[in-house]
Amino acid sequence: MDLLMPLRRLLKASADPANPSAEELDAFFHRIRTIAVVGLSRDPEKTARRVPSYLAVKGYDVIAVNPKAGRILGRDAFATLADVDTHLDLVVVFRPSAVAGAFVTQAFERPDAPAIWLQEKIFAEAEIQAARAAGRFCVQDLCTYKVHRAVFT
């Protein structure tokens, strides 16, 4: 029995065939701890709040990047990704494709070299391709919640 089959199905549904493999995603979620979420919403009804909340409940250290928020999920929010002074394993982007590329570039420029993840239906083709060419772990058009559930169920 292939325990990664649910994850393989998610990958097949993604519009980006260059995303990491099911095996790579499985290993990735077992090794990361600190996640910055660009666009983490103040609205508890939005996906950009529910997904990071889920990840926080699952034990990840979730850091909000939202210039319009003072505190989210009981923690101080940061106005920009550059303001986050903690080592990051992953930067998740919940911003429209039209502006996502700028956040991919900001994440790529960080000295801690975090992985970069664009949620479902979010793309930054040129910036993701450049980050991948430089050896960075990058995902686009996949939901971290769905992938996490596929890995851990």
Domain span at 37: 32-152
Domain membership flag for residue 17: no
Residue from 78, 83, 80, 122 nearest 101 by CA: 122
Residue with tokens 């239906």: 121
Give me 23's structure tokens: 């095996």
Residue from 85, 126, 81 nearest 106 by CA: 81
Long-range contacts made by residues 105-110, C-beta under 8 angstroms, separation at least 24?
106/80, 106/81, 106/82, 107/38, 107/81, 107/131, 108/134, 108/136, 110/81, 110/82
Helices (H), 3-143: 5-13, 22-31, 47-57, 97-109, 125-133
3-state DSSP call for residue 81? helix
Give me 49's structure tokens: 């709040």
Domain membership flag for residue 136: yes
- The pLDDT of 36-62, averaged and rounded, is 97
Domain membership flag for residue 61: yes
Q: What is the CATH number for 65?
A: 3.40.50.720
pLDDT at 1 over 90: no
- In this predicted model, what pLDDT tens digit does every residue of 3-38 receive, in sequence order? 899 999 999 999 999 999 999 999 999 999 999 999
Give the pLDDT score at 11: 97
Give the pLDDT score at 65: 98
Give the pLDDT score at 75: 94
Domain membership flag for residue 10: no
pLDDT confidence band for 138 (50 / 70 / 90): very high
pTM exceeds cut of 0.85: yes
- Residue 13 has a CB neighbour count (10 Å cut-off) of 11
pLDDT confidence band for 153 (50 / 70 / 90): confident
